[in-house]
Amino acid sequence: MRVRLFQKYILIDLLKIIALLVFIFGGFYILIDFFEKLGDFLKFKKPFYLFLSYIFWKLWVNIYEIYPFIIGLSGIFCLLWLNRTNELLAFLSLGFSKKEILRELSKGLLIISILGGLILNLIFPKAAFMSLYTWDYKIESQKKQYLIFDKDIFFAGNNYYLIAKPLEPKGEYLKDIILVFLDKEDPKEIWWIDSGYYIDKTWVLSGVIIQKKELGFKPEFFTNIKTKLPFKPSTLVTVEKPIEFLSFSELIKRYRFLKKVKRPYDDILAEIFLKIFYLFLPFILGFLPMHVYLEEFAPSKMLTCFSKSLGLYFIFLCLFLLLQTFLRKGFLFASIILIIWSIIIFVFFIFSLKKNK
């Protein structure tokens, strides 16, 4: 019972610190986005609810980006709070060891890292899309005459209509394509295409049936056709999202397409790796700094243990940002360093799970 109360107390304090940090940093980013974009928004004379919608989705994008750093930092601030209120000293006086305190904080940090990371990985792609779409197309009213319904696209171009199902997020691989060429308002040709992909500025089509008005719309069958069409993949994408804004499933689809057409996909593999690493990043950043804090702890050395643990945290943070930059630039050795770093952290964590004091 005593141990359970101790665990509950530690977890509640950790959650309070996380909520406070998210509120502070999230509110800070809201203010920046609000006043940075407000002047531009007023020029377009659009309903104010569109601006609030943009701020709402942009907030989730910001939370996704700062979440691992806030969670990693929360363990240190939790220890600082317990130290400041003398609760840390009280735990030690009651017979709880530094190792037990580290173990409970670390378990809480790891669980919150994974659960929060999974939730944000689900929310982030939609939030990134909606923030870009709301600003670029609902507020700035940029072009693009097409609708997206379910997983299909409908595009109304100059003298043609297109219906297709994209198989990857950049619009370079399509399935179930219907292409109608028009003569004024009347159909001139109808193309029924099983699938097609875009490479070297050309569409490679498979399973094609062509019906022409001049032949009485009699179907002609083709196994494969390599041709130029009046649209490019970029015209089919509602919002051009950076690779880091793609969801995990979109990255997998993109990877399969690039592999199919034998194009480089190192950047996609790097982003997939970072999506997975994101789940553990707060724990990896925060575990050893918490260990340093507790090792240096003494009632009269509050500033010393805090500054040392915070300094180590920022060293880890800079290291991760450096390796992330290398990885996104195509230097895959950075992923090996991140994996080794993670293994070292988890080995220390496993040792901390031992019950001996």
Identify the pLDDT of residue 325: 92
Q: Where are the domains of the chain?
A: 2-141+270-352, 146-237
The three-class DSSP label of residue 47 is coil
Is 146 in a helix, a strand, or coil? Answer: strand
Count the residues in the chain.
Answer: 357
Mean pLDDT of the region 205-214: 89
Assigned token pair, 200 = 């070297």
145 band by pLDDT with thresholds 50, 70 and 90 = very low
Which residues pair with residue 208 across a beta bridge?
193, 222
0.85 exceeded by pTM = no
More reliable by pLDDT, 18 or 303: 18
Q: How far apart (Å, rounded) are the C-alpha atoms in residues 203 and 349?
A: 52
Least confident of 157-166, 195-204, 208-217, 272-281: 157-166
What gap in Å lies between CA 57 and CA 59, rounded to an integer? 5
Instruction: Specify the 3-state DSSP secondary structure of 251.
Output: helix
Q: Rounded to an integer, what distance in angstroms lies between the CA atom of residue 350 and that of residue 345?
A: 9
- Residue 52 confidence (pLDDT): 93
